[in-house]
């Protein structure tokens, strides 16, 4: 038991002391600040028809708990889904394998360390919800129970389930991060959209939001005429907030069956860990061995001759960037398994033959997101492979190496979008062409910026997934490729971000090289 707790403690402390976790906390503070809009904001997060709740303790507590359950689950998986892989890379796993700790205890310790990391973020959101209540209070009393109850019953079981899911994926398909990303995206969408018509629908809700949503809808329905219905939306909805009417929401009394189901999700997660324990490799991973051919030594019949240096051909100094672009492009293309290119090929075929709007709005962002494992280490692979000083001691590393990485990434993204670009070219839709090209550049510069500043690939993976999910749900503010709101102002907005990312990345890399 002591070793079990020690592993959890050390892993938790290692993670929260990292630079990437600090950046994630800052991003969490910024996002949680928007969970409850200020009174004059131009967006809404939870809205029932034309109604939003009075800014009392129950509204702040339940709304922020619901938003945390969904959005922190969304980004939390990508934050904690490398705990076992990190032990493999740092060789800590091999040391743990020699101890007496059992496989189930080790996997469960990873679940709890994941859970503690995510709980830290949830606590930040919890404190932010109280701060927002103080800032936006309309004269209602502060009731701490209305904050604690929804977070404990709604958010914590959902976060624990995400912690379990991250360990399950690492045990079963640990070497294939792309498959993990795809499966999590499918499961997340399924859990979010799952709807049952029987009385068990609340108990089968992983995120625990449906029972609260139904209670809010019932509160609004009492204020409406019998022939009118109200539709609830959860998420960031822009516009149409000035005409919102107010209703009073006092929280709900969770039935005992629902509370038991929340505990059931936790026990079910522990049971799944026990089921996959026999499949855990216990760090007995076989390294790839390349077949080496025996070299034949050719003995010259002429014997050794004197080498006259003056007669040797003069070396030709080639400062061209083209060989570097070719190398970076090959590294991007050859990264990952070859069969993943079959998935990319299917995506390109869908771009060519589906309805052009569907292809632009749905297929293109998903196809680009499937390249997250290629772009995430675009500027961090030198650090991960301990060749940073060797690589950047080359001639003009900023002008040649960094630019070649950018160009290679842009070529890859544009190449994947070529069928759609060809169709828009035939239609002479210059605006759509410019937006897609700008979108390809934007994603590469986002990977460049986050990679250089955080020196890890995690934050880019999290943000790219969040941006892709937002675009699939047609949230205009995250539209970087013109699929939702292809207007000139959006082009200027994305262009400004690209220029900002590029400028700060070059300045940061130049500062690193000078040190």
Pseudo-torsion of CA 184, 187, 193, 197, nearest 10°? -160
Whether residues 502 and 429 fall in one domain:
yes
Whether residues 261 and 349 fall in one domain:
no
User: 258, 279, 300: which is the final residue of a domain?
Assistant: 279
The Cα-based distances of 385 to 379, 380, 381, 390, 484 in angstroms read 12, 9, 6, 11, 39
Give percent of the chain with pLDDT exceeding 70. Answer: 89
Claim: this prediction has a pTM higher than 0.95: no
For 110-131, give the secondary structure using H, E and C. HHHHHHHHHHHHHHHHHHHHHH
Q: What is the mean pLDDT of the chain?
A: 83
Q: Is residue 275's pLDDT more than 90?
A: yes
Does residue 290 form part of some domain? no
> pLDDT, tens digit, for every residue of 326-375?
988 998 888 877 778 888 899 899 998 888 888 998 899 989 988 888 88
Q: List 233's β-bridge partners, or say none.
A: 47
User: Which comes out higher in pLDDT, residue 140 or 115?
Assistant: 115
Neighbours of 36 (CB within 10 A): 25
In terms of C-beta distances under 8 Å and separation of at least 24 residues, what long-range contacts does 33-38 make, across chains too?
A: 33/128, 33/132, 34/236, 35/63, 35/64, 35/67, 35/68, 35/125, 35/128, 35/129, 35/132, 36/60, 36/63, 36/64, 36/129, 36/132, 36/136, 37/241, 38/135, 38/136
Question: Does residue 57 contact residue 133 with C-beta atoms inside 8 Å?
Answer: yes
In Å, the largest CA–CA distance within the chain is 104
Segments of 142-278 assigned E as strands? 232-238, 245-247
Residue 167's contacts (CB-CB under 8 Å, 6 or more residues apart) are 83, 84, 107, 110, 111, 114, 273
For 1-26, give the secondary structure using H, E and C. CHHHHHHHHHHHHHHHCCHHHHHHHH
User: For the purposes of burial, counting CB atoms within 10 Å of the CB of 300, is it exposed (0-12), middle (13-18) or buried (19 or more)?
Assistant: exposed
Lowest mean pLDDT among 213-222, 292-301, 419-428, 481-490: 292-301
Whether residues 333 and 402 fall in one domain:
yes
Question: Does residue 442 contact residue 480 with C-beta atoms inside 8 Å?
Answer: yes
Cα 345 to Cα 357: distance, rounded to the nearest angstrom: 19
Does residue 314 form part of some domain? no
Helix 430-454 / helix 418-426 crossing angle, nearest 10 deg: 150
> pLDDT, tens digit, for every residue of 451-476?
888 888 878 888 888 888 788 877 77
Cα 49 to Cα 378: distance, rounded to the nearest angstrom: 45
Question: Does residue 475 contact residue 371 with C-beta atoms inside 8 Å?
Answer: no
Whether residues 371 and 267 fall in one domain:
no
- Over residues 13-30, the mean pLDDT reads 77
Whether residues 62 and 172 fall in one domain:
yes
Whether residues 28 and 97 fall in one domain:
yes
User: 279, 306, 334: which is the final residue of a domain?
Assistant: 279
Whether residues 376 and 507 fall in one domain:
yes
Q: What are phi and psi of 246, to 5 degrees?
A: -105, 145
For 484, which DSSP code? S
Q: Is residue 384's pLDDT more than 70?
A: yes
For 154, which DSSP code? I
Cα 118 to Cα 124: distance, rounded to the nearest angstrom: 10
Whether residues 76 and 188 fall in one domain:
yes
For 373, which DSSP code? H
Question: Does residue 21 contact residue 460 with C-beta atoms inside 8 Å?
Answer: no
Neighbours of 438 (CB within 10 A): 19
Query: What range defines the domain where residue 53 resides?
Result: 2-279
Cα 268 to Cα 461: distance, rounded to the nearest angstrom: 28
CA nearest neighbour of 60 among 126, 158, 122, 159: 126
Whether residues 340 and 249 fall in one domain:
no
> pLDDT, tens digit, for every residue of 159-216?
999 999 999 998 888 777 777 877 888 888 888 776 655 556 788 888 888 888 888 8
Number of independent structural domains in the chain: 2
User: For the purposes of burial, counting CB atoms within 10 Å of the CB of 271, is it exposed (0-12), middle (13-18) or buried (19 or more)?
Assistant: exposed
Whether residues 331 and 448 fall in one domain:
yes
Does residue 374 form part of some domain? yes
Does residue 289 form part of some domain? no
Whether residues 106 and 248 fall in one domain:
yes
Whether residues 229 and 347 fall in one domain:
no
């Amino acid at each position: 038991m002591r070793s079990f707790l020690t592993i959890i403690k050390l892993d938790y402390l290692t993670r929260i002391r990292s630079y990437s976790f600090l950046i994630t906390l800052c991003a969490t503070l910024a996002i949680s600040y928007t969970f409850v809009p200020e009174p004059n904001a131009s967006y809404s997060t939870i809205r029932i028809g034309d109604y939003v709740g009075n800014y009392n303790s129950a509204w702040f507590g339940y709304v922020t708990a619901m938003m945390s359950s969904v959005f922190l689950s969304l980004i939390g998986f990508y934050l904690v889904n490398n705990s076992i892989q990190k032990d493999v890379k740092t060789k800590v796993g091999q040391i743990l394998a020699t101890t007496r700790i059992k496989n189930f205890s080790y996997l469960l310790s990873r679940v709890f360390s994941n859970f503690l990391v995510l709980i830290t973020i949830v606590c930040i959101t919890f404190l932010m919800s109280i701060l927002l209540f103080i800032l936006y209070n309309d004269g209602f009393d502060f009731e701490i129970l209305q904050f604690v109850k929804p977070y404990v019953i709604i958010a914590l079981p959902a976060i624990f389930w995400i912690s379990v899911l991250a360990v399950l994926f690492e045990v079963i398909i640990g070497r294939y991060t792309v498959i993990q990303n795809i499966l999590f995206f499918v499961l997340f969408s399924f859990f979010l959209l799952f709807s049952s018509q029987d009385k068990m629908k609340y108990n089968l809700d992983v995120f625990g939001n449906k029972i609260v949503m139904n209670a809010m809808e019932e509160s609004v329905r009492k204020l409406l005429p019998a022939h009118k219905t109200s539709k609830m939306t959860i998420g960031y909805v822009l516009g149409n907030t000035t005409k919102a009417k107010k209703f009073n929401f006092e929280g709900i009394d969770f039935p005992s069956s629902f509370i038991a189901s929340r505990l059931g999700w936790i026990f079910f997660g522990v049971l799944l860990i026990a089921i996959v324990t026999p499949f855990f490799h216990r760090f007995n991973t076989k390294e790839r061995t390349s077949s080496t051919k025996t070299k034949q030594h050719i003995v010259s019949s002429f014997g050794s001759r004197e080498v006259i240096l003056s007669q040797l051909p003069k070396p030709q100094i080639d400062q061209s960037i083209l060989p570097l672009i070719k190398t970076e492009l090959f590294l991007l293309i050859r990264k990952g398994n070859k069969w993943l290119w079959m998935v990319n090929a299917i995506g390109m075929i869908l771009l060519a033959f589906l309805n052009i709007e569907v292809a632009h709005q749905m297929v293109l962002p998903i196809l680009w997101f499937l390249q997250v494992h290629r772009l995430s280490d675009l500027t961090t692979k030198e650090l991960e492979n301990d060749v940073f000083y060797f690589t950047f001691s080359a001639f003009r590393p900023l002008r040649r190496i960094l630019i070649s990485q950018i160009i290679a990434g842009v070529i890859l993204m544009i190449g994947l979008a070529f069928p759609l670009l060809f169709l828009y070219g035939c239609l002479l839709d210059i605006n759509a062409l410019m937006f897609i090209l700008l979108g390809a550049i934007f994603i590469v510069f986002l990977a460049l910026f986050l990679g250089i500043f955080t020196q890890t690939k995690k934050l880019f993976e999290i943000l790219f997934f969040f941006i892709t999910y937002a675009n699939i749900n047609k949230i205009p503010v995250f539209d970087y490729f013109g699929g939702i709101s292809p207007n000139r102002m959006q082009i200027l907005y994305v262009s400004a971000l690209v220029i900002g990312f590029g400028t700060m990345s070059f300045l940061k890399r130049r500062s690193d090289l000078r040190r």
